[in-house]
Amino acid sequence: MKKLFVVFLLCAGVYSSGNAQSFSLGATLGANLSKINSTSFNTAFKAGYLAGAYAQLRFGKHWGIQPELLFVQSQTTTDSNFNELYGSQLTNAHNLTHLNLNYLDIPVLLTYRILGIIDLQAGPQFGVLLNKNNSLLENGQNAFKTGAFTLLTGAEVHILRLRAYARYGWALGDINNMNTAKLTSSDTWKQQCIQLGVGINIL
C-alpha cells in the first residue's frame, strides 16, 4: 500500500519539477461495474463504487498526465460449478456465492484533449487487494492474488470545474490464487470493469 502512495506522489510531483502548463487537483466519486471472466464465476457485470482523488498535469494544448488514488469496490458472484472445482479447499463452501473485493487502485492515465473539453484517456492501473478473503480457505491462504494490473481506456468531459468520465478496463493477469494443481483444466480469473464517475476540481 505504501508503494502505491509513493507512485501517486511521484506522478503528482512531476508538476513541481517539469514544465507543466497547468495543474489541477480534485475529488471523484462513481460506480464500478465489474466481473470476473472464469468458468467458476457469474460473468455478468455487478455494481460497486469508487471514490478518491486525482491530479491532472497538462503539457501544451493537448497532452496531459492524470494520476489518481481510488478506493474501488468490486462485487462478484460464484457460478454453480465453483464448489465442484474448489469445494475441498473451502471452509464453508455452501455459503460461498457473493463476494466483495475492495482495492486501493492507482490509475496513471495519458490524456489527449480534443474539442477543448474532451480528454481521451489510456494507461495502466495498479491495484492492491485490501480484503484478502483468508477465511474462505481451509489452509488460511489468500483466495485472490493481492495485486492486480489493469489497462484502462476511456474519455472524460470537462465543464468548468466539473468533469464526467466513462472508462473500460481489462486485467492482464490472473487473480486466481487457489490451488489448481488437481483441476483437469486451468481456471483463470480475469477481471473486467466499467467505471462511470464525476469529479470536481478543488485546486
Task: At 129, give phi and psi (nearest 5°).
Answer: -75, 125
Q: Considering the entire predicted model, what is its pTM? A: 0.81
Q: Per the structure, how many domains does the chain have?
A: 1
Query: Distance (Å, rounded) from C-alpha 200 to C-alpha 31?
Result: 16
Confidence bin at 170 (pLDDT 50/70/90): very high
Residue 141: the pLDDT is: 59
Inter-residue contact 73 to 34 (CB < 8 Å): no
pLDDT digits (tens, 9 = 90+) for 2-22: 555 555 555 555 444 445 578
Are the CB atoms for 97 and 81 separated by under 8 Å?
no
pLDDT recorded at residue 185: 59
- Least confident range from 80-84, 112-116, 157-161: namely 80-84
Average pLDDT over residues 38-47: 91
> Rounded to an integer, what distance in angstroms lies between the CA atom of residue 101 and that of residue 147?
12
Closest CA to 4 of 102, 131, 128: 128
What is the extent of the structural domain holding 130?
2-201
Q: Quick one: cell of 59?
A: 503539457
Calpha distance 112→162 (Å, rounded): 18
CATH number of the CATH domain containing 68:
2.40.160.20
Per-residue pLDDT, averaged over 156-175, amounts to 95
Is there a contact between 139 and 161 (Cβ–Cβ < 8 Å)?
Answer: no
